[in-house]
Structure 1
Amino acid sequence: MNANQAQGRPIEPTALPEAITRYLKAHRAHDTATAITSFAADATVIDDGNTYNGSAAIEKWLTRSAGDYTYTIELTGAQEVDGTRYIAAHRLEGNFPGGVVDLLYQFTLCGGHIELLVIEP
């Protein structure tokens, strides 16, 4: 983790909140319709240096990311930072530049939905 990332206590991936597990399962299945239901209407996603605000922008991001490359995603660990912030570590392998990348999905929840998702190495 870099210096800007909060560190939490390790938890079992099965202990992640429902909104996160729903998103992750749908993301692995490239199921945009289900994935978007995990986000608050005014949520923000930051991925690959880009920021996506609101449901429409996040849905476009989900659709684009599912179609750009073919890849597998494996959940390799999880942490709870506090009652609203969680980190899910993933390894992606596929036909994107570099072929393999380890990413941290940093979630902030509000009202049972994902309010903020920051994805970075």
Structure 2
Amino acid sequence: MSETVHYKGVLKKVERFDGENLEQQCKRLLGNKELPSYFDSYEEFLLDNYYKTMTVQNDTVYEVKAIEVDADSDIFNATLLNDGQIEFEVRYYNGGCGFDEAIEEAIKNIGK
């Protein structure tokens, strides 16, 4: 069932090992599991397994620390913190927008 949802929290960058690309990092974070045939990439597999607890934005994996808040209208806010984390607040109708899309829109709004 689709509904309006509202999350507020912080994105913490998940460090990548030297020489590791995004696919390798996602595979490692999944415990080096074999990629199921119904996924096209380890990134997709990671996002499916860690929905709302990890997101990939601009080729970077972030751990999501969020709480759900009462919802009324769309909000896509993000602020870059001094330690490199991204504080965010998103509120959206999840029948037309997904969590990763909401985070992407919030990141685009940094500094606006």
Give TM-score, length-normalised by structure 1: 0.28
Q: Which structure has more RCO (C-alpha within 8 Å, separation ≥ 6)?
A: 2
Higher strand content, 1 or 2: 1
Larger Cα-atom Rg: 2
